[in-house]
Amino acid sequence: MLVKPQPIGIFPLPASYLLLPAVADDKGALAHLLQGRVPEIWPEEWTFYRAALLGEAAVRDADEGVIGR
């Protein structure tokens, strides 16, 4: 299940291509994202999106992350 609407194309790549999963409480983060603002409080399930926005690697310390590079 995905959140609707999605903040596709609002932010630079790679975040612009990412889709957010549905969460019970988005803590107001979706409203911020749809307005082009980076929220201060994020749902735990969306940490990958936050990392993409901030240019941080969200790769586990495992072989799978190295193989695809």
For every residue of 16-39, DSSP letters joined together read GG--PBP-S--TTHHHHHHTT---
Do the domain assignments include residue 63? Answer: yes
The count of domains in the chain is 1
Do the domain assignments include residue 6? Answer: no
Q: What angle do CA 14, 16, 19 make, to 5 degrees?
A: 100
- Per-residue confidence (pLDDT) for residue 51, from 0 to 100: 92
- Per-residue confidence (pLDDT) for residue 68, from 0 to 100: 61
Q: Span 3-12, mean pLDDT?
A: 93
Do the domain assignments include residue 47? Answer: yes
Q: Could you list the residue range(s) of the whole structural domain that residue 61 is in? A: 15-67
How does DSSP classify residue 15?
A: G
Give the separation between CA 68 and CA 28, rounded to whole angstroms: 34
Do the domain assignments include residue 2? Answer: no
Do the domain assignments include residue 33? Answer: yes
Do the domain assignments include residue 7? Answer: no
Confidence (pTM): 0.78
Tell me the pLDDT tens digit for each residue of 17-69.
Answer: 999 999 999 999 999 999 999 999 999 999 999 999 998 866 666 666 556 65
Q: Span 11-16, mean pLDDT?
A: 91
Do the domain assignments include residue 9? Answer: no
- Per-residue confidence (pLDDT) for residue 46, from 0 to 100: 96
